[in-house]
Structure 1
């Protein structure tokens, strides 16, 4: 009976997920995609009190959802009143609208159209603001001179407070309670309330630019027509420096209290510096009436495809891209080759339990990137720190070193504070004695401090939201597989996972032990075959000090929530928001746990596993990782290229961490291949995919910020690999197979004709590991532009492939239509037996041999909320 129930549950899961994924795919193909940016740095000088300051923005054109760098020189060092910012700091915000004409020498928008003022409305005890400098609150004065006073708003109540209204691009105007407005809040705003100027008069911040996808009330990037000309709406970056002069023009004498007022008050606004921002279009620029060619698969290809789509669209070829985990991508392509071109880092049939399909599969290398450990860490020196460290207070740590065992400790939830509440005041809960003497988190781990000595002088609040775990993506991926391979190949990490303590006595969380005798599940954890980031520990508790009732516990997926994908992980790390809902709100209806929002400026600590392109897009710092040669290597172009040279395999070369023995090889490098089953797609589709491959092998490998080039976070393919791509394109054009009666296919199977000059496998899969010069159709070399004429003349171009489109925020629900659809479909399938009133407890997991489990239904309310938002956005 039990076997039958499990079988039926799996059948429902598969059916629901399949239907959900197909529905999600249809929805996802209406989502906008991205173009890359253009190098367009701008430097602007301050005025008046700030005339000696110069502000530089590293990019102002072709903007997308991304981070840009704002830096400055010539400032006065920031002062503090206790822990609050007092004088001489910088505030940054994004605004919309035309020049308001108030500063002829520096055009800029009205202050009423700036996204600012969403600081915390509760629990401000550790917040470094005074409720005026970080809000829109002002005091009226007919002739204002002091910071924070205003000559317009509040005139009806001169002795009381007032607020500067916020006006949305659609005309919606909020005049009261602006701090709690419905358009943006502390969790979604991109404003920077407090940016410190260092002792040397310099400063730097990474500012998250938001398009209309993330901030509809600003409308940045939406096509607008003026005088018969349509172009994306421009917006503004506005910088407001806060000074240190009192009413008499002299420096403040009293440093014991905060003196700054709202940056949108008229007194402070007169010193604002505005810099125009030009965006890629949010919408469609491709000619309507053109067919599209679907591509799907590895997230590692996402940013490259977003850039390439732009140029290919202008050349008359429209390609969609749908992100999907590589294992699922391969399964889909094996089952249905008519789905088109898929991005993968392994060949079909490489996964356990799968077999390569019959007939030809054409593989072409298209991108070289990798997984990275990205982070946002700010220095908060201990009182005992030397002056050299104290002078760096609030600045960002630029680099850290990590070895495989340290990453294993994070992923296995082995730090004492990871299982939050399992050890309280030195007393361990039953079954958690192993955690009692473990370091609280990464920052206090002697092994980490030995590699990163300055952390001995830094203070980190070691909670589930800081250094006790890594933000990781939900689902199966080749990136997760590569990370676990790197860990399992390490001579120190492998025995640690087996239960051997490190040199300082730290032990692995037994739920991740590869020793079945130690693992409470009775099965050994098998990292060598893992392609996900499991949260195996069943620990649940009411968070200490939360005030929540005993019947409202949190579990490990609450303390350490998954993110949707690596892009989302990078974004949340840039925001320093790990998504833990740590605050119990007893006044809510019903009472719930709520997020406290991003971490407090000056002491942020967020760390994630993401891809190199996403880290570059959001301006994350990245760790140097220890490779099998014992060297610590950063994910630079050199590190990626050196590792790629060690790749081995047939048809699809794989970089194996254990074999990347070159001293300069970055261990988590990954090669992305385009895979097509030519016998299952039409001749017209083969021509179009050949055009994509030709472009990817030529201009697509030229690094640059311009649309159509290779974005940051990728390394150009070697000449040999590019030649292999050209040869694969030639083979698609030259392919002739037997006529097929299969659905959606104009050609059938046949022998392999593509790839790197090797032999074909028994299943007709492209063999070989090297590439010769392209000598097939159109051979001889790569073309900078698509060589095949557009082969379609009808149909509808979907919005996914608009030239110059701005990439959606990773949290945009449309981006995840396929995985969310699959997940919700699975929920529907598994939940069917409970429709009669049985209770389904989440997360729902299916135990597997080897200590692994499949999370059938995760406890992720964010996914459900995203799907609700997705449905609201559909026509």
Structure 2
């Protein structure tokens, strides 16, 4: 054997080292890729959910720190403002006296008034719409809730306020308000044409607690709600184009007068307007970034209509913005689900409908002939949202008194408690029927009932702190739920939850609860008790009826005898659940409770929002709207006897119980898991492909594909899944994708019996059926035969027969989403930068470690590698990690 030369040995070692290096790198990279793919997906970068900002105060307030929980990708919604390091608020009687916080929204460029903290001019802030009359229950005094800048003290420096006449005691001046269109209001700003006390989002008084902390939810407004601010409107051109930013401005008020000296009168302090120059110098400004208001769709683009469930509204509005730049334009009209099903049944050419039940599930209806394709698109639910602030009773314990004015974060509700609210069974719900020792005829049942929810012994037993809280129990507070008008599957689900509970069923039938509370007989399911002569039938209810015919002149109004109000006046409807959430956030219950004899003609008018520190409003809304406006939500008792909140996990747990043919429904009675939220609902897209042309089916298939893909990634950016939804399970997403395929490849009969596969087809044929998850079943024309695979948790499912009724349409809220990063990259065919997630290093790190392992193999007794190198995969498949290759000539082994 020929001795090997040093050069040959070097070539051999180099060849083996290179082989191991490449093999190890490849295996390591593949392992890293597997880790990265298996890991949970991170939230989208720059989606607005991680945009909290903390800013310190200055001067007198240098120890305070203010945090805003979200500052980018904003739409019309609530954001949370918290602070620490403050001095507890002092009161003069019921009036805010010293050390409180005021918050407002402003527009404009930096005015350079505060170096180091850019902010807008004070003339461009929405503030100063406090009431000009009926200030008896208002917590402010003097000018601190107005734009007036008269100084009652002797200031050493008026700043710019002398321009407005601040020193003139006979003609108090005002800081003008300038709208984004250039209009300037210089006088009577409290009655300006742009905003008033019912529409402004200003926070005149926010309390600092005994521990120096405070919290307030602030409703940010886009140009849709506040055109005079213009936030979110497109501005600029080219690369600089984008939605108009705005500002959140916080003005802390302290214990110094406007001249910077201590107040001479400590009994009642006039803190002065926050937009006065002396208070403005302490302002804290935080930039707010908005999603673009208005459409991002190309002009003249063909729009595909969608219609239906409000539960889908926020998700669809987000998805619309992401799909427009890709050339897919989808309109959305909010409509009650029963009406949606009726419309699709009558005219499948109307497009795609969002529903929680199958066509033909409502009483007295049947499914249309021909194929109906169903796809799950969203998982959300109904909630009981509320704004409740603590007002301790006299003699309350110190731990309760220290929480005065703060918000109650959670309450527990049973089906029977909600039934009491929906049936107007509290004593003060029929306002004026029971007054001290007088009880109206027919209302003896109410005499011994609790005045409202807050004093109901059943409620207090579950929420013991309310034993120490004082609530003005009137129709404006806790005697009813703020509910929406019309017929919806959400209302049906709520009644089904109530009926699934034995105690609630007995209460509706006329059995008193353990404390003697009786149902309002107009809602009794016992016909012998019901004055209407017929039983109330909640099993077939899909609305919130106001059956009690009580009418009266509201006590204490001094209105004439013919100015009566009835139950729909005391407890007015809202247009939809979104409006219910908004009014609950504003603490505005819409009851026109104040008689105005000076009006022309004399009439009842709104009193404005409830007084800060003692607000109490509860509503039935959807989880997305509650999250959007920062509402607290009740924990509801489920079929397992556990109280659960509408968290994503609880929604997902409930969805596992969904069952039925064609469309899987979540039944409150069947959601028996301990962690299941009882009012969770699955939203399905329903399409009749035989009624649509091929291009329309393709567009709807694209929508379903997006909804099942990127549309299930949680986030605030356009195209993402907003808060209030739980991402669909893998099984449900797969089912939606199969339904999209079924739409795309539909070959059934089209219009006039034409072949849908050749001309695009559309109106149903003669063989009824449904498709879901890509499987088509045929039957007798009812569309209810067959079984579908892939249910709520990957199992079978779809809707069984049921009941319902008509519905009422309400317009959807205007969208305020912009293109955003997700949309820009879709249009450009690129992808955004990776988020700062350690998993992005999985592949390169794996390659490096694999290479090191390969090089170290000789020292571990490793055997020589043989190429090609293959890695076995599940299912008997293999993947080639390192193919055979030819080494450079200088590394090749010399041939003998």
TM-score computed with the length of structure 2 as normaliser:
0.81
| Equivalent residue in structure 2 for 1:57, among 68, 84, 88 | 68
Is 1:755 aligned with 2:773? yes
Is 1:235 aligned with 2:246? yes
Is 1:804 aligned with 2:825? no
CA contact (8 A) 2:243 2:818 kept: no
Distance (Å, rounded) in 2 between the aligned partners of 1:290 and 1:149: 52
Number of the residue aligned with 1:746: 761
| Equivalent residue in structure 1 for 2:689, among 678, 700, 719 | 678
Number of the residue aligned with 2:647: 636
What pairs up with 1:164-563 in 2 under 5 angstroms? 164-225=175-236, 229-246=240-257, 252=263, 254-563=265-574
Deviation per residue, 1:319-378 (Å, 9 max, x gap): 111100000000000000001110000000000011000010000000000000000000
What pairs up with 1:558-597 in 2 under 5 angstroms? 558-597=569-608
CA contact (8 A) 1:489 1:657 kept: yes
Q: Secondary structure at the match of 1:40?
A: coil
Change in Cα spacing, 1:802 to 1:233, as seen in structure 2 (3 Å) is: closer
CA contact (8 A) 2:222 2:816 kept: no
Q: Secondary structure at the match of 1:313?
A: helix
Change in Cα spacing, 1:148 to 1:403, as seen in structure 2 (3 Å) is: farther
What pairs up with 1:832-843 in 2 under 5 angstroms? none
Distance (Å, rounded) in 2 between the aligned partners of 1:742 and 1:583: 63
CA contact (8 A) 1:140 1:153 kept: no
CA contact (8 A) 2:65 2:83 kept: yes
Distance (Å, rounded) in 1 between the aligned partners of 2:318 and 2:193: 34
Change in Cα spacing, 1:758 to 1:752, as seen in structure 2 (3 Å) is: closer
CA contact (8 A) 1:327 1:351 kept: yes
Once structures 1 and 2 are overlaid, which stretch shifts more, 122-131 or 190-199? 122-131
Is 1:768 aligned with 2:779? no
Deviation per residue, 1:807-829 (Å, 9 max, x gap): xxxxxxxxxxxxxxxxxxxxxxx
Change in Cα spacing, 1:138 to 1:247, as seen in structure 2 (3 Å) is: closer
CA contact (8 A) 2:389 2:615 kept: yes
Q: How far does residue 760 in structure 1 lie from its aligned partner after superposition?
A: 4.9
Distance (Å, rounded) in 1 between the aligned partners of 2:159 and 2:272: 4
Once structures 1 and 2 are overlaid, which stretch shifts more, 156-165 or 388-397? 156-165
Is 1:152 aligned with 2:167? no
Change in Cα spacing, 1:248 to 1:309, as seen in structure 2 (3 Å) is: closer
CA contact (8 A) 1:139 1:148 kept: no
Number of the residue aligned with 2:24: none
Q: How far does residue 72 in structure 1 lie from its aligned partner after superposition?
A: 1.1
CA contact (8 A) 2:235 2:243 kept: yes
Distance (Å, rounded) in 1 between the aligned partners of 2:159 and 2:366: 69
Q: Count the aligned residue pairs.
A: 750
Number of the residue aligned with 2:826: none
Q: Secondary structure at the match of 1:729?
A: helix
Change in Cα spacing, 1:760 to 1:204, as seen in structure 2 (3 Å) is: farther
Q: Which has the larger radius of gyration?
A: 2
Q: How far does residue 284 in structure 1 lie from its aligned partner after superposition?
A: 2.1
What pairs up with 1:662-673 in 2 under 5 angstroms? 662-673=673-684
CA contact (8 A) 1:755 1:767 kept: no
CA contact (8 A) 2:658 2:791 kept: no
Q: Secondary structure at the match of 1:691?
A: helix
Number of the residue aligned with 1:791: none
Q: Secondary structure at the match of 1:44?
A: strand
CA contact (8 A) 1:144 1:267 kept: no
- RMSD of Structure 2 on Structure 1 (CA): 2.5
Change in Cα spacing, 1:690 to 1:156, as seen in structure 2 (3 Å) is: same
Distance (Å, rounded) in 2 between the aligned partners of 1:610 and 1:147: 48
Q: How far does residue 432 in structure 1 lie from its aligned partner after superposition?
A: 0.6
Q: Secondary structure at the match of 2:376?
A: strand
CA contact (8 A) 1:40 1:61 kept: yes
CA contact (8 A) 2:156 2:259 kept: no
Distance (Å, rounded) in 1 between the aligned partners of 2:688 and 2:400: 58
Deviation per residue, 1:627-660 (Å, 9 max, x gap): 1111111111111111110111011111111111
CA contact (8 A) 2:662 2:770 kept: no
Change in Cα spacing, 1:152 to 1:196, as seen in structure 2 (3 Å) is: same
Change in Cα spacing, 1:461 to 1:735, as seen in structure 2 (3 Å) is: same
Change in Cα spacing, 1:269 to 1:802, as seen in structure 2 (3 Å) is: closer
Q: Secondary structure at the match of 1:72?
A: strand
Change in Cα spacing, 1:203 to 1:727, as seen in structure 2 (3 Å) is: same
CA contact (8 A) 1:282 1:805 kept: no
Distance (Å, rounded) in 2 between the aligned partners of 1:156 and 1:249: 16
Q: How far does residue 754 in structure 1 lie from its aligned partner after superposition?
A: 3.7
Number of the residue aligned with 1:693: 704
Deviation per residue, 1:225-255 (Å, 9 max, x gap): 2688432211111100001124786655743
Q: Secondary structure at the match of 1:305?
A: helix
Q: How far does residue 769 in structure 1 lie from its aligned partner after superposition?
A: 5.0
Number of the residue aligned with 2:891: none
Once structures 1 and 2 are overlaid, which stretch shifts more, 272-281 or 187-196? 272-281
CA contact (8 A) 2:734 2:773 kept: no
TM-score computed with the length of structure 1 as normaliser:
0.82
Distance (Å, rounded) in 2 between the aligned partners of 1:421 and 1:205: 34
Q: How far does residue 311 in structure 1 lie from its aligned partner after superposition?
A: 1.4
Number of the residue aligned with 1:811: none
Distance (Å, rounded) in 2 between the aligned partners of 1:262 and 1:102: 17
Number of the residue aligned with 1:599: 610
Change in Cα spacing, 1:543 to 1:573, as seen in structure 2 (3 Å) is: same
Q: How far does residue 739 in structure 1 lie from its aligned partner after superposition?
A: 3.6
Distance (Å, rounded) in 1 between the aligned partners of 2:750 and 2:669: 44
Q: What are the ranges of 5 or more consecutive residues in structure 1 without an aligned counterpart? A: 1-34, 774-797, 807-875
Distance (Å, rounded) in 1 between the aligned partners of 2:645 and 2:511: 29
